[in-house]
Amino acid sequence: MFVNFADISRGCAKTLLLVLNGCCILVALCTFIFAVVDTKILKEYGEERASGTFAGDVIIIVTCILLISVAAFGSVGAVKSDVRILYLYIGFLMIMVILELLIAIYVSLQRYGLEFKVSEWLRDDFFRNNTDDDVHSDLWDNLQITYECCGLNGPEDYLAIRKQISLSCCPRAYRARTAYAKQQLYRTCVESSTYYNDGCEDEILYALRADANWLVGVAVTSFWFEAAGMLLAMWVANNTRNEDSAYKQSIRY
């Protein structure tokens, strides 16, 4: 029995191309969710400090939608073995690669600048927190609970300015429902030194760097998926075109 290795190899290439497109869609969906959540987190730092980074997240969201559309378009071309769709898919992927490279550079620069702005804001705002301004007090309570930190560089910052360690540095006391429970748990927390020991500045900057590193990693991963997708699509398109040409010539003769 004769085995047509050309058809088998083309079928394997189509399957692999569909798998790669599925991976691209999955990566794009995860990045889309990350960007949406990140826009909400950035609001904590104020619009003036995070405006550029917020715009970067919006660009990422739009790019994710485009990548999902391109991957779906390429999948249709692979299933139908449509040469024109596959060539268009390759062209779209080339544009996406260039666009993602520019976005990765832009987002990295914005994140780097955001670190300086947030660090400066934290240092200025922490000392405002130690006045009677309830707005700033609530803000720092939220930051300390969210990032599991205490003070600017540690709980000793409160002691250095002759203030009591914030209640939000003791999570159990802060979450207690009654005033008496809060008081007792807070006293135990301070006496046993079980409050958060890390400073908020380091924790928040670490989170920003981790987000930036994750985005760069996604860009690199997407690049390899897209590069492999372009090569496979090119192979399938050329193979299909050559087979069609050979078939037409055999009919002609």
Mean pLDDT, to the nearest integer, of 221-227? 86
- Give the CA-trace dihedral at 228, 230, 234, 236, to 10 degrees: 60
Report the percent of the chain where pLDDT is more than 90.
18
Q: Which residues contact 123 (CB under 8 A, 6 or more apart)?
A: 152, 201
- Give the CA-trace dihedral at 122, 123, 125, 126, to 10 degrees: 100
Category of 192 on φ-ψ map: left (φ > 0), alpha (ψ -120 to 50) or beta = alpha
Mean pLDDT, to the nearest integer, of 150-167? 87
Contact 138, 165 (CB under 8 A): no
Mean pLDDT, to the nearest integer, of 170-177? 90
Q: Which amino acid is at 216?
A: V
Work out the mean pLDDT of the chain and round it to a whole number: 82
pLDDT confidence bin for 131, thresholds 50/70/90: low
Question: Alpha-carbon distance 199 to 186, whole Å?
Answer: 19
DSSP 146-163: HHT--SSSSTHHHHHTT-
CA angle 48, 121, 47 (to 5 degrees): 15
Helix, strand, coil percentages (3-state) for the chain, rounded to 5, are 85, 0, 15
What angle do helix axes 47-80 and 200-252 make, rounded to 10 degrees? 20
179: Cα within 13 Å, side-chain hemisphere: 0
Question: Alpha-carbon distance 207 to 202, whole Å?
Answer: 9
**What's the pLDDT score for residue 65?**
92
Of 99-108, 111-120, 168-177, 243-252, the least confident: 243-252
- Picking from 207, 229, 186, the residue whose alpha carbon sits closest to that of residue 24 is 229
Q: Where are the domains of the chain?
A: 8-135+206-252, 150-195
